[in-house]
Structure 1
Amino acid sequence: MTSSTLLEALQSSVGRFQSAAHRHPRRVSAAVVALLAGSAFTAFGVAPLTSLPQGPQPTITQINEAVAVPELPAQLARMDEQSLVLYRSDVTRPADTVDSLLARLGVDDLDTAQFIRNDPVAGTILQGRTGKSVKATVDNGQLRELIVRGPADTTNDFDTHFTRLTITRVQEGHQPAHWNVRKELVLLETMPQMASGTIQSSLFAAADDANVPDGVTNQMAEIFGNDIDFRRELRKGDAFSVLYEAHTADGEPMTWGGSAGRVLAARFINKDKVHDAIWFQEAGKKGTYYDLQGRSKTRSFLASPLAFSRVTSGFAMRFHPVLQKWRAHLGVDFGAPTGTPVRAVGDGIVSFAGQQNGYGNVIQIQHSGDRATVYAHLSRIDVRRGQRVEQGARIGAVGATGWATGPHLHFEFKLGSHQVDPMTIARASDSQVLSPQALAQFRQRTVDVAKSIQAAGQWQLAGAQSGPRFE
């Protein structure tokens, strides 16, 4: 067959194949797979014969060797002699008894249960706050060791220490078992923790979803309080990232709550605008928060006289609940329980502290530049006239004295004799700037923290930019 004839035959075959592929695609696919599989086997069988170099065949030596069978029955018997030690963890619950707690921990030990009920120290396991962390070492149902971690017993140590109660079973030969009990006050440890969240309804709800402690959320609201009006400017889709000190007990998270550590750095994205804050303490000065350019987040006036609270009535027209008519509300009302601490929003001197008609118990503080602040409806007054106070100092407590329908704080900011919006004054007040030498130290010490918070913030920004406004 000539080359031209072979080419024509090949073209004819390709045409028939294409036509068959269009009419019977499944059959053709199956045939191709079978053909490829057959080719693979053929190549596997033929290729080695053609590719191996010709030469003498290797010598094959057969070796017979006896293989020892493992003594499985003996090994299983030795395994049966070993005791099984289990570690179980849980937390105390409101309805717990000694028996129910031990049962959840896998302890079937009547003697231990009786000892805990009768011993004055061991019996404190179920006393006080619930949610204590409990870890039990169990050997065939018998308790070997029980470790209980909970809050410190004294108020002064609550934020810095925890209580560790250890109960150990001691068994010596055939003697009856006895138990050692040790109760210690141990220093809490701190470890950096990063968390991020996106606002859907409120800051606290988003923080709860991100497992951020309330104390950390309060700090964030405080840090960015002069930048963001959380009452009117928060929107759905806003985002935050925060690096904070998480308190741990023996390296484990505190299950009973408690105070949170300090916020080390935070980023809040509000209406596509990015706000940053990093904790820094200049030598010889009080530590505070600065943005990435080294400008202090602390201003001459705080945005709120309460750490964080619900605004019930803003600086605007409103229907007065007592007078039953519309009138200008020349201050801001903060809803909070009676007894909530009230603080001075800036440095100044107390110009009035006492009772005044509808204001009830009221304090007025005179600040520099003919500026004054008023704190009304207090349940108690903790300062006296003529006393100098610093920003953040406690001056009284929330109440419902005077013309008040419920516990809240009425707060006013005055320029001369005219009331103005406190938020406007807080944002316009001066902020401290680091010196060039301190700024160099700030950037050197916080470069890694800044990178972490920026990376987290950029990830959150993608979701924040598309969020609709929260009304």
Structure 2
Amino acid sequence: MIKYKNNLAYGLQAVTQLVRSHPKRITSTLAVLLLGTGVTAFGVAPLAPDAADLPVRQILESVQSLPTEVQTEALGSFQFKLFRSETTRSTDTADALLKRLNIDDTAAAAFLRSDSNGRLTLMGRPGKSVAVEATDGNQLLKLTVRWATDDEEKFTRLVVERKPDNSFSSRVETAPYTSSTRLASGSIRTSLFAATDDAGIPDAVAVQIAEIFSGDIDFHRALRKGDRFSVVYETLEADGEAMRTGRVLSTEFVNNGKTLQAMWFRDPASNTVAGAVAKGGYYTLDGQSLRRAYLASPMEFSRISSGFKMRFHPILQTWRAHLGVDYAAPTGTAVRSVGDGIVEFAGVQNGFGNVVFIKHRNSHTTVYAHLSRIGVQRGQSVSQGQHIGAVGSTGWATGPHLHFEFRVNGMHQDPMNIAKQSETIPLSVTAQPLFRQLAGNVKQQLQAAADITQTRAE
């Protein structure tokens, strides 16, 4: 006990001595300890009273349900609206079309047969887009028919509607297309059309690609397996539905290892007459025009049945020089002038049958024979690409085809060589800055289109 007291006294003496020696350090340490304890206490202190201590009240209210009669009447009068779409067929009647649309409405069918506007539904070419709105009892409420015309900017719309008294009204109107841009690409295995079919590209786009590069690629004979192409083109839509294919905006074709590129461009400085609208054309991405004085073919992309060479004449039964090119095509297929010129002759001539001679500059003459009909007159001015007649089998012909010749100073020449050697129309100097800017964007678009095929392959 005495030893413990001595130790306690010694400890107190030591603490007292420590406080005297370091008063500030001891005070700071105690303050920090007290502050930390306070903060900790504040952090864990409850912010609300215990829920068990709160008073509890019970409230009762009566709720009345809505009248069921009103709801029943609303459900009874409610009608679904059904929407369906179809395209017209060459064998369609008003009744057959409505039946295919699942419309059971004799009054609507009678109106389409009797109304002058309603009869437009089945007049003209088949393939018109038809959309209907019907009741849940398959009664017609509204019928809309859309179709393309020769106007490249507007389409025609026919609307037939049921009125409150259950009669029908009709109206015909025009509306502008909405243009959208599509990218696509493909690879050649057998033919251009087979490749575009595989890629889901419309035939009209394939024809334009062949036309654009026709001066550099013989699409009938020069395609190779593994050739590839990319294209950016317009689609013209009517009320949100694709109606027709627009213009190819840019395209790239790799043929036998050689890359060709083209883009559409309208040169504002190419006007030759004051106030005239500048004509657009296709150019390489470095500004070289692809438009030549002569087209490579008097017809849109088609099969060549007989080239510029010796052949066994099917009628005369002798070997003779074939001084032209024969294009096999159905009767009525449009024939166009390969260049600007004047009609020198239009009529019937010996074995040529119905034939047109067009005089061009530099003593050049083109001949279009075996036509089923002639669409120009002697002395008439024609422009490149203008339709001058249609394919037929008149004269010495075993079947419908076009016989085409190119003569220079009266001497027959290979049309393919003449087209390739004809001069191009240059891009104006003032348009070059704008062209270079657009060409940069085109390169990116074509690369994006090419990536589609690569992604599909992977």
User: TM-score normalized by structure 1?
Assistant: 0.70
Question: Which residue in 2 is equivalent to 1:270?
Answer: 255
1:166 to 160, 165, 170: 160
Matches within 5 A, 1:53-202: 61=51, 80=75, 83-94=78-89, 101-102=97-98, 105=101, 107=103, 112=108, 121-122=117-118, 125-141=121-137, 143=139, 145-151=141-147, 160-170=154-164, 177-194=165-182, 195-202=184-191
**One of 190, 193, 208 as aligned partner of 1:219:** 208
Aligned residue among 237, 247, 254 for 1:248 = 237
SS of equivalent residue, structure 1 residue 295: coil
Q: Which amino acid aligns with 1:181?
A: S
> Displacement, 1:299?
0.7
Cα distance in 2 for partners of 1:302, 1:67 equals: 92
Distance 1:358 1:331 in 2: 14
Structure 1 counterpart of 2:297? 304
Aligned 1:310-389 pairs, distance under 5 A:
310-350=303-343, 356-382=349-375, 389=382
Distance 1:164 1:272, change over 3 A: farther
SS of equivalent to 1:222? helix
The 1:223–1:112 alpha-carbon spacing in structure 2 relative to 1, beyond 3 Å, is: same
Relative to structure 1, the CA distance from residue 111 to residue 280 in structure 2 (aligned partners, 3 Å threshold; closer, same or farther) is: same
Do the aligned partners of residues 345 and 120 (structure 1) sit closer, same or farther apart at CA in structure 2, a change above 3 Å counting? closer
CA 1:120/1:391 → structure 2, altered by over 3 Å: closer, same or farther? Answer: closer
Query: Aligned-pair distance for 1:290?
Result: 1.1
The answer to whether the 8 Å contact 1:92/1:126 transfers is no
**Structure 1 counterpart of 2:8:** none
Aligned twin of 1:280: 265
Deviation per CA, 1:367-422: give whole Å up to 9, x if none. 44454433333345555666654333344443333332122222223344543322
Native 8 Å contact 1:239 1:460 kept in 2: no
Contact kept in structure 2, 1:144 and 1:169, CA below 8 Å:
no
Which residue of 434, 440, 447 corresponds with 1:441? 434
CA distance in 2, matches of 1:67, 1:332: 99
SS at 1:229 equivalent: coil
Deviates more, 1:338-347 or 1:61-70: 61-70
Contact 2:252 2:446 in 1 (8 A): yes
* Equivalent pair of 2:108/2:140 in contact (CA under 8 Å): no
Secondary structure of residue in 2 paired with 1:296: coil
The Cα shift of 1:101 comes to: 4.6
Query: Alpha-carbon deviations, 1:136-180, whole Å to 9, x = none?
Result: 33343264631321336xx7659732132231341xxxxxx3234
Matched-pair contact (CA < 8 Å) for 1:125–1:148: no
SS at match of 1:433: coil
Deviation at 1:288, TM superposition (A): 1.1
Distance in structure 1 (CA, Å) of the matches to 2:116 and 2:358: 52
Once residues 366 and 127 of structure 2 are traced to their aligned partners in structure 1, the CA distance between those partners, rounded to angstroms, is: 42
The number of aligned residues is 399
**What are the ranges of 5 or more consecutive residues in structure 2 without an aligned counterpart?**
1-43, 272-277
Does the 8 Å CA contact 1:277/1:290 hold for their aligned counterparts? Answer: yes
- Counterpart of 1:308 in 2: which secondary structure? coil
Preserved contact between residue 267 and residue 454 of structure 1 (Cα < 8 Å) = no
Match of 1:207 in 2: 196
Q: Specify whether residues 78 and 66 from structure 1 end up closer, same or farther in structure 2 by C-alpha distance, changes over 3 A only.
A: farther
Partners of 1:418 and 1:96 in 2: CA distance: 53
C-alpha distance 114-341 of structure 1, shift in aligned 2 (>3 A): closer
* Aligned alpha-carbon RMSD (Å): 4.0
Which structure would you say has the larger RCO, counting Cα contacts within 8 Å and 6 or more residues apart?
A: 1
Q: Residues 380-459 of structure 1: matches in 2 within 5 Å? A: 380-382=373-375, 389-416=382-409, 418-445=411-438, 447-457=440-450, 459=452
CA distances 1:194-241 after superposition (whole Å, capped 9, x unpaired): 243433433334334444444333322222211211111123333333
Query: 1:251-308, CA deviations, whole angstroms, 9 ceiling, x for partnerless residues?
Result: 2223xxxx64332222333223332222211113321111211111101211011233
Secondary structure class of the residue paired with 2:295? coil
Contact 2:337-2:385 within 8 A present in 1 as well: yes
In the aligned structure 2, how far is the partner of 1:389 from the partner of 1:119? 41
1:242, 1:453 within 8 Å by CA — same for their partners in 2?
yes
Question: 1:315 touches 1:332 (CA, 8 Å); kept in 2?
Answer: yes
Cα 1:190–1:448 change in 2 (3 A) is farther
Q: Kindly indicate whether the alpha-carbon contact (under 8 Å) linking 2:348 and 2:354 is maintained by their aligned counterparts in 1.
A: yes
- State the AA in 2 paired with 1:150: R
Q: Secondary structure of the residue that 2:418 maps to in structure 1?
A: helix
Q: 1:402 to 1:137 in 2, by over 3 A?
A: closer
Distance 1:229 1:70 in 2: 84
> Are residue 261 (structure 1) and residue 253 (structure 2) matched?
no
Equivalent AA in structure 2 for residue 293 of structure 1: D
Return the index of the structure with the highest Cα Rg.
2
Contact kept? 1:316, 1:330, Cα under 8 Å: yes
Residues 366, 262 of structure 1: alpha-carbon distance in 2 compared, 3 angstrom cutoff = same
Letter in 2 for 1:273: K
